[in-house]
Amino acid sequence: MNSNDWIEICRVDDIPVLGARCVRRPAGADVAVFRTDGDRVFALLDRCPHKGGPLSQGIVFGEHVACPLHNWAISLVDGEARAPDIGCATRFAVRVEAGVVSLLASELATLALDDAPDDVAALAVARKVIAIAAA
């Protein structure tokens, strides 16, 4: 991975404390950038591993965010769902320098592109079809 392609996203102050902002990409689902009450910043794909809920809209507590759809707790540090739920949200590297938040352009351009909203819906339909077929 090229680690020199940091791209400026916003200032830390542009993100609410214990909140998040969405980063739009030319392709692929949004990326959510979170700010803890200690001003640490994390970035995850804005899709809960459970049903694709927008994590940026959840309540941030400690170093977790609660998905707004079904309240899964997702770790901001590694994207993992808190047990007993199982799943992992894609993580994006974050750099904070002089109060400016940057993400890697290479990651924004390549990570989790196939997980666009429409695909999530399609995936759900596919799963349902498989489930019906299996039954």
Residue ranges that bind another protein, judged by CB under 8 A: 7-10, 14, 16-19, 21-25, 30, 33, 37, 51-54, 57-62, 64, 66, 68-69, 71, 73, 84, 103, 105, 108, 117, 120-121, 135
Which residue(s) pair with 6 in the sheet?
104
**Longest Cα separation, the chain:** 57
Count CB atoms within 10 A of the CB of residue 22: 15
One DSSP character per residue, 76-88 reads: TTT-BBPTTS--B
Q: In this complex, which beta carbon is closest to another protein, that of residue 51 or of residue 114?
A: 51
Parallel, antiparallel, or unpaired: how do β-strands 31-35 and 100-104 relate? unpaired
Taking the complex as a whole, how short is the minimal distance between the CB of residue 10 and another protein, in angstroms?
5
Taking the complex as a whole, how short is the minimal distance between the CB of residue 9 and another protein, in angstroms?
6
Taking the complex as a whole, how short is the minimal distance between the CB of residue 31 and another protein, in angstroms?
9
